[in-house]
């Protein structure tokens, strides 16, 4: 067979595997894989530096399928290239990542060919996609990380980090706001290691894009300062390859390749119809498509001889050679720069360097205290000095979030200074969270920051951090009504409970400066979980830890801070963040009245839920049923801790615009109110 024939055979294998898998599953999107098979084939087999034998080798090119509904493209490629599986500890399992059997069981339980690409479930998937726009936004984080890594670790003759990041996207990704936010920042940052390929098929689920999407995409991206290329025929491998070559020669800007395609290419009746979406083609159409590809009409899941061999000789050989070169280079590098090499090793395994927590501050008791955000700022500055690859920034609120890294040499990450540790995401919270995911996928320890209320703007990407099990960090300040005069638009109410509802996300709302330190100490040791910090804007008293229990209790999610002498508690007061001060004051007042109350500081539901039952019952003894929770946020969910005989002092409506003191009075967050509620519950009014 000629090379052209082999190319076509491989492309049609991708197409027919996709068709058969969707047909068998009776769900999925066959049309886009049929159209994009030539693109993916060209990119993978001719360009991509990816070694299927080691899908996590640090020098590899990254491939992101942002139109995740076309997942069969990826499952076909991972199977046909014999990509190997690795586990969560980054060990090679010596077996394929995706098998033909998985593809036969596309979208079925436990199959390694699920509905959408899932990082951490299938090796070789660089990021989870499906929610449109997330993949391309995340790819910007990968390209940023590559620049940063190159700046710190590349040395003359040692281009360790010089890979490219490719993302395929459709109309949906380019319609979504997060895609625009990310594209704007990528243009500003001149990310010339980034290439998006836009499947310009003029169709989405409801029909032609003429009903919704008539902007000039090329002009938009030119305005973002991208290089824009066009390939008028999605079946022309040479032109695809040429465009990718132009990308690789382009400096100072990212590249968008607009690829004109026909969804469902080869299926004569469903071409250009929305029916190529979200449903199988049907038996007749499958036959017609296979006939058009010169395929045996009745064959299913057919992988003709020579196809896997074509991939072995293409991406397999090239990837293996590239990795071998890289490993030799890295071995020499290790001799010359042993400390930097150790950093790279540690980073790859998400380990922390020795001494990562040295010099963490310890705050003295102080009734005036300091704001959560200020304590956080001090901690971030220490951590960033101890951990070279700990970095991040804010969505234009760095001075309010106190996330600025101020030590000598910290610097700003900008086009001319890719080694900077301070990132400026601009007012693009959603893209920020997706970019932080991309940085984390590239093994940097990255954080993003904004006001807590705007966590809503970032939420879809935070959810993906949790789904992907990435140790990202979100620093959210102005955690409750401390925002005061800014009013209800800026005062979080439902954000805490909404983030607590995300599985695997560690949400922490520390009560004083020492709890902030302990919260970061806990978070930094996470390797597979993201964390959210909810920090106060206003100063919070620093508790006297000789009098109250040590803040180290943060590591257990909740802990007893104070008890009354003379017997078991009559009532348990529970709070997080700024309201811990409130219940401590109430506790002291109750003590003076001869009431035995217990103070429980509960910075994290999630961490507490993971403690053994014995510990949980130690903190919240089942026999003590009179319980009062106080939190300046939606009361929803607290029932689980106060029980049906308990009470919650929370927010039942939005806040208001006024100085904080007046808001505390209006909404009842004052020590007297807590004392009165406790006495009433105990029948001692």
485 near 493, Cβ under 8 Å? no
Order of strands, edge to edge, in the sheet holding 559-562?
Answer: 559-562, 597-601, 571-575, 627-634, 647-651
Minimum separation from the CB atom of position 127 to Mg ion (A): 20
Of 451, 444, 336, the residue nearest 396 (C-alpha)? 451
Q: Give Dmax over CA atoms of the chain in angstroms.
A: 93
569 near 563, Cβ under 8 Å? yes
Whole-angstrom distance, CA of residue 607 vs CA of residue 616: 11
Burial state string for 262-277 with b = 16 or more CB within 10 A and e = fewer than 16: bbbbbbeebbbebbbb
What does 139 bind: ligand TPP, Mg ion, none (CB cut-off 5 to 8 Å by kind)? none
Minimum separation from the CB atom of position 262 to ligand TPP (A): 10
Nearer to ligand TPP, 289 or 590 (CB): 289
Whole-angstrom distance, CA of residue 63 vs CA of residue 73: 12
Minimum separation from the CB atom of position 423 to ligand TPP (A): 25
Whole-angstrom distance, CA of residue 119 vs CA of residue 138: 12
Whole-angstrom distance, CA of residue 492 vs CA of residue 470: 25
Minimum separation from the CB atom of position 208 to Mg ion (A): 10
Q: What is the CA radius of gyration of the chain?
A: 28
What does 524 bind: ligand TPP, Mg ion, none (CB cut-off 5 to 8 Å by kind)? none
Minimum separation from the CB atom of position 32 to Mg ion (A): 8
Whole-angstrom distance, CA of residue 460 vs CA of residue 450: 15
Q: Please tell me whether residue 158 adopts helix, strand or coil conformation.
A: strand
* Tokens 């879809």 found at: 460
Whole-angstrom distance, CA of residue 136 vs CA of residue 128: 11
Nearer to ligand TPP, 260 or 585 (CB): 260
Whole-angstrom distance, CA of residue 241 vs CA of residue 624: 71
Whole-angstrom distance, CA of residue 645 vs CA of residue 628: 9
Question: Annotated binding residue at 490?
Answer: yes
Whole-angstrom distance, CA of residue 144 vs CA of residue 133: 17
What does 131 bind: ligand TPP, Mg ion, none (CB cut-off 5 to 8 Å by kind)? ligand TPP
Of 397, 400, 362, 671, the residue nearest 538 (C-alpha)? 400
Minimum separation from the CB atom of position 413 to Mg ion (A): 33
Bridge partner residues of 108 (DSSP): none
Question: Annotated binding residue at 131?
Answer: yes
What does 67 bind: Mg ion, ligand TPP, none (CB cut-off 5 to 8 Å by kind)? ligand TPP
What does 69 bind: ligand TPP, Mg ion, none (CB cut-off 5 to 8 Å by kind)? ligand TPP
Nearer to ligand TPP, 131 or 398 (CB): 131
Give the orientation angle of helix 134-153 with respect to helix 338-348, to 10 degrees.
160
Nearer to ligand TPP, 280 or 393 (CB): 280
Give the orientation angle of helix 31-42 with respect to helix 3-25, to 10 degrees.
150
Of 116, 124, 115, 47, the residue nearest 85 (C-alpha)? 124
Question: Annotated binding residue at 130?
Answer: yes
Minimum separation from the CB atom of position 211 to ligand TPP (A): 12
Nearer to ligand TPP, 126 or 171 (CB): 171
Question: Annotated binding residue at 373?
Answer: yes
Q: Which token pair is 194?
A: 């980034």
> CB neighbours of 218 closer than 8 A, spacing ≥ 6?
228, 230, 256, 258
Nearer to ligand TPP, 99 or 129 (CB): 129
Nearer to Mg ion, 39 or 203 (CB): 203
Whole-angstrom distance, CA of residue 668 vs CA of residue 378: 32
Active site residue 279: no
What does 32 bind: ligand TPP, Mg ion, none (CB cut-off 5 to 8 Å by kind)? ligand TPP
Q: Which residue number places its CB atom closest to Mg ion?
A: 171
Nearer to Mg ion, 201 or 626 (CB): 201
Minimum separation from the CB atom of position 132 to ligand TPP (A): 4
Q: Which residue number places its CB atom closest to ligand TPP?
A: 170
Minimum separation from the CB atom of position 295 to Mg ion (A): 25
Query: Which residues contact Mg ion (rule: CB under 5 A)?
Result: 170-171, 201, 203
Whole-angstrom distance, CA of residue 386 vs CA of residue 83: 36
What does 237 bind: Mg ion, ligand TPP, none (CB cut-off 5 to 8 Å by kind)? none
Question: In Å, what is the CA distance from 542 to each residue of 367, 372, 390, 425, 532?
Answer: 6, 10, 27, 32, 21
What does 586 bind: ligand TPP, Mg ion, none (CB cut-off 5 to 8 Å by kind)? none
Q: Which token pair is 101?
A: 């059997």
> CB neighbours of 328 closer than 8 A, spacing ≥ 6?
none
Residue of 126, 429, 518, 631 marked active site: 429
Whole-angstrom distance, CA of residue 422 vs CA of residue 95: 41
Whole-angstrom distance, CA of residue 121 vs CA of residue 114: 9
Query: Which residues contact ligand TPP (rule: CB under 6 A)?
Result: 32, 67, 69-70, 130-132, 170-173, 176, 199, 201, 203-205, 263, 277
Nearer to ligand TPP, 202 or 350 (CB): 202
Whole-angstrom distance, CA of residue 657 vs CA of residue 373: 21
Nearer to Mg ion, 141 or 170 (CB): 170
Minimum separation from the CB atom of position 33 to Mg ion (A): 13
What does 149 bind: Mg ion, ligand TPP, none (CB cut-off 5 to 8 Å by kind)? none
Annotated binding site for Mg(2+): 171, 201, 203
Q: Which residues are catalytic?
A: 429
Annotated binding site for thiamine diphosphate: 69, 130-132, 172, 201, 277, 454
Annotated binding site: 29, 69, 130-132, 171-172, 201, 203, 277, 373, 400, 454, 478, 486, 490, 537
Annotated binding site for substrate: 29, 277, 373, 400, 478, 486, 490, 537
């Amino acid at each position: 067979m000629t090379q052209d024939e082999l190319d076509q055979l491989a492309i049609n294998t991708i197409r027919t595997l996709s068709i058969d898998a969707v047909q068998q599953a009776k769900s999925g999107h066959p049309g886009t894989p049929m159209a994009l098979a030539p693109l993916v084939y060209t990119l993978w087999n001719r360009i991509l530096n990816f070694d299927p034998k080691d899908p996590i080798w640090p020098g590899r090119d990254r491939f992101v399928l942002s139109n995740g509904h076309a997942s069969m493209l990826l499952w076909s490629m991972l199977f046909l290239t014999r990509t190997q599986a690795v586990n969560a500890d980054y060990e090679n399992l010596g077996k394929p990542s995706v098998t033909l059997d998985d593809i036969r069981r596309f979208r079925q339980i436990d199959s390694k060919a699920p509905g959408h690409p899932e990082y951490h479930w299938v090796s070789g998937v660089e990021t989870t996609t499906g929610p449109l726009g997330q993949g391309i936004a995340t790819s910007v984080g990968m390209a940023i990380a590559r620049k940063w890594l190159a700046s710190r670790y590349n040395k003359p003759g040692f281009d360790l980090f010089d890979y490219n990041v490719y993302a395929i996207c459709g109309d949906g990704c380019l319609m979504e706001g997060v895609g625009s936010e990310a594209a704007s920042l990528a243009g500003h940052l001149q990310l010339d290691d980034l290439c998006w390929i836009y499947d310009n098929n003029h169709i989405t689920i409801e029909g032609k894009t003429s009903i919704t999407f008539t902007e000039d995409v090329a002009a938009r991206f030119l305005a973002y300062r991208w290089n824009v290329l066009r390939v008028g025929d999605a079946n022309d491998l040479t032109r695809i390859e040429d465009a990718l070559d132009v990308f690789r020669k382009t400096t100072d800007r990212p590249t968008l390749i607009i690829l004109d395609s026909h969804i469902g290419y080869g299926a004569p009746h469903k071409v250009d119809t929305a029916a190529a979406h979200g449903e199988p083609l049907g038996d007749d159409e499958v036959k017609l498509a296979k006939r058009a590809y010169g395929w045996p009409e009745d064959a299913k899941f057919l992988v003709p001889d020579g196809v896997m061999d074509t991939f072995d000789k293409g991406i397999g050989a090239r990837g293996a050679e590239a990795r071998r070169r890289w490993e030799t280079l890295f071995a020499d590098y290790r001799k010359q720069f042993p400390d930097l090499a150790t950093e790279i090793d540690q980073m790859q395994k998400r380990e922390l360097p020795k001494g990562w927590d040295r010099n963490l501050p310890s705050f003295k008791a102080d009734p005036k205290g300091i704001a959560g955000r200020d304590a956080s700022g001090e901690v971030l500055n220490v951590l960033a000095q101890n951990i070279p690859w700990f970095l991040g920034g804010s969505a234009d609120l760095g001075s309010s979030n106190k996330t600025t890294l101020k030590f000598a040499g910290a610097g700003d990450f900008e086009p001319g200074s890719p080694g900077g540790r301070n990132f400026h995401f601009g007012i693009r919270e959603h893209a920020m969270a997706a970019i932080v995911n991309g940085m984390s996928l590239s093994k940097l320890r990255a954080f993003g920051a904004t006001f807590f209320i705007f966590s809503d703007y970032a939420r879809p990407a935070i959810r993906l951090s949790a789904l992907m099990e990435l140790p990202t960090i979100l620093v959210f300040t102005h955690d409750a009504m401390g925002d005061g005069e800014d009013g209800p638009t800026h005062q979080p109410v439902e954000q805490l409970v909404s983030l607590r509802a995300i599985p695997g996300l560690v949400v922490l709302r520390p009560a004083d400066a020492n709890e902030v330190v302990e919260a970061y100490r806990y978070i930094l040791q996470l390797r597979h979980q993201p964390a959210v910090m909810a920090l106060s804007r206003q100063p919070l008293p620093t508790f006297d830890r000789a009098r109250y229990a040590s803040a180290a209790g943060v590591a257990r999610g909740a802990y007893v801070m104070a008890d009354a002498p003379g017997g078991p508690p009559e009532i348990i007061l529970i709070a997080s963040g700024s309201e811990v001060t409130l219940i401590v004051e109430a506790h002291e007042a109750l003590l003076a009245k001869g009431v035995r109350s217990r103070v429980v500081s509960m910075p994290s539901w999630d961490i507490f839920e993971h403690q053994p039952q014995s510990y949980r019952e130690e903190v919240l003894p089942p026999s003590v049923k009179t319980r009062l929770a106080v939190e300046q946020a939606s009361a929803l969910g607290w029932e689980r801790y106060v029980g049906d005989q308990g009470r919650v002092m929370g927010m039942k409506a939005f806040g208001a615009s006024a100085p904080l003191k007046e808001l505390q009075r209006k909404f009842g967050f004052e020590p007297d109110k807590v004392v009165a509620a406790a006495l009433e519950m105990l029948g001692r009014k």
